[in-house]
Amino acid sequence: MRATTSGSLAGSTGCTSAAAFPWDGRAGIPAGIPAGAAAGWGCPAAWVWPGAGAFVWAAAGALPSEEAHAVASHQALAGHFPGLLTVIVPRHPQRGAEIADLARFAGLEVARRSADGEPERTTELYVVDTIGELGLFYRLAPLVFMGGSLVPHGGQNPIEPAKLGAAILHGPHAHNLTDVYAALDGAGGALPVADGQNLTYALYELFSDPGVMRDMARAAAGAVEGLGGALGRTVQAIEPFIAQMKLEEY
């Protein structure tokens, strides 16, 4: 996602992949990501995200207190990582203006997807206050914090960002998808954080060691691919019983 050429998100004609990843330094899919995770990746090499520097992360499905944590993390990390871009995709898009005001009050350069379109090269915090674009920003951010997990909401679904090559961070409240989060944590594809301060620490450590982030992304993609295989085997195993039940109905 180095902004080496101009490009357009809105004019991508359905193309929904970044041209390069900062922790990989090349066009295409990070090495080691399972082939099944590659669906939908295939944008022209010239199509990049203007305004994105070498360090990008997203807080996806963030709730109000998590939005504030994301702003605070950016403030703490910006001096260490030039070009840092924080992307907040709020759980409630109508909060876009309020989040933007919060970030501006903190002294950050802010852009809103609904009002400003694409981020500029100087944008520090990008608020994605639109609907139906999570997949796009999962592809654009190599590191994703799953919202709803620092508060007792239960955590957003991490399967899609993991499939799309992102390393995952999440809080302690992941009870909506306990098995999925346990599989990601166990595989080393996700890292739990206790609170906002630990979120900042985790971001610092991962941005400081791109190799670890790359390994996490590979592990996350592999873990969710394994979960998909287990589901397929379960369905295959119970299929004869379902067929028998249908026969007995006639």
Show the tokens assigned to 1: 């996602």
Q: Which long-range contacts (CB under 8 A, 24 or more apart) does 78-82 make?
A: 78/124, 80/204, 80/207, 80/208, 81/54, 81/55, 81/207, 82/53, 82/54, 82/55
Q: In 3D, which of 29, 25, 52 has the Cα closest to residue 40?
A: 29
Pair 130, 87: CB distance under 8 Å: no
Pair 126, 111: CB distance under 8 Å: yes
Q: In the prediction, which pLDDT does 247 show?
A: 53
Q: In 3D, which of 123, 128, 139 has the Cα closest to residue 85?
A: 123
Task: Compute mean pLDDT per 10 residues along the chain, 250 residues long, and list them.
Answer: 32 34 34 37 38 79 97 96 95 96 97 91 94 90 96 95 95 95 97 97 96 96 82 49 52
Measured distance CA(204)–CA(144) in Å, rounded: 13
Radius of gyration of the chain (CA): 19
Q: In the prediction, which pLDDT does 80 show?
A: 95
Q: Is the dihedral of CA 166, 212, 53, 143 positive or negative?
A: positive
Q: In 3D, which of 184, 170, 90 has the Cα closest to residue 130?
A: 90
Selecting from 3.40.50.2000, 3.40.190.10, 3.40.140.10, 3.40.50.10470, what CATH number does the domain 51-249 have? 3.40.50.2000
Domain layout of the chain by residue ranges: 51-249
Q: In the prediction, which pLDDT does 102 show?
A: 97
The DSSP bridge partners found for residue 56 are 85
Output the pTM of the full model: 0.75
